[in-house]
Chains A and B, each alone.
Chain A
Amino acid sequence: DVKVTQSSRYLVKRTGEKVFLECVQDMDHENMFWYRQDPGLGLRLIYFSYDVKMKEKGDIPEGYSVSREKKERFSLILESASTNQTSMYLCASSRSGISTDTQYFGPGTRLTVL
């Protein structure tokens, strides 16, 4: 079974703090993704990575950056957290370079920025 883990289930941070969200997958997947989920908006893609050190912006990259130094790990960074970044953050991975491959998700991190 594919296992995608995220470092925290719940996180509370203050405005202006630098926030790191970590995601690890154990199935040697090429692709990794970060989404945010907000009520009524579904999942929106922040960034994705198709290889180590490679990244592409998604639909809402502003205010975020990412890092992928190892194949199994994909980090999402909020350089200076703001209250409008309060959300549920979901990490996913998929097997190969095929865009239509199934994505497998982690349990999510619910981030609150005060």
Chain B
Amino acid sequence: AQKVTQAQTEISVVEKEDVTLDCVYETRDTTYYLFWYKQPPSGELVFLIRRNSFDEQNEISGRYSWNFQKSTSSFNFTITASQVVDSAVYFCALSEYTGGFKTIFGAGTRLFVKA
């Protein structure tokens, strides 16, 4: 069965600190996709990244970077030099190729960035 675990419920950092949000997943499929979404206080989930299971290259987008490790079933998200605007709930999600239309979301990690 598919499962996504975000063990960190809340993280609090001071502006300009680096912060890593952990995501561990379980799947039996060899083909699957992983996602990260950001939910700011306004409520709307904003898509950040989609990564397929055959692409283990790390990705960097500005201050954001993602580390995909199939060996440990993890897809961690790092924010470098955090800013107050990064304060949000972040969700990791998994879709299996054979999973029909279902995407499984983790419980989310709430990030507080203090000025």
> CB of B44 within 8 A of chain A?
yes
B104 nearest CB across to chain A (Å): 8
> CB of A80 within 8 A of chain B?
no
| Cβ-neighbour of A99 out of B46, B47, B52, B99 (below 8 A) | B99
A43 nearest CB across to chain B (Å): 4
Q: How long is the Cα–Cα vector from A102 to B47 in the complex, in angstroms? A: 8
> CB of A107 within 8 A of chain B?
yes
- B107 and A99: CB pair below 8 A? no
Number of residue pairs spanning A and B whose beta carbons lie under 8 angstroms apart: 58
| Chain A at the B interface: SS class | strand
Task: Identify which of residues 91-115 in chain B touch chain A, using a CB-to-CB cut-off of 8 Å.
Answer: 91, 95-97, 99-103, 105-108
Known contacts A104-B47, A105-B44; decide if A43 and B101 are in contact (CB<8 Å): no
Query: Which B residues are closer than 8 A to A by beta carbons?
Result: 4, 9, 32-33, 35, 37, 42-47, 50, 52, 91, 95-97, 99-103, 105-108
Most chain A beta-carbon contacts within 10 A, residue among B32, B33, B99: B33
- A58 and B95: CB pair below 8 A? no
- B45 and A58: CB pair below 8 A? no
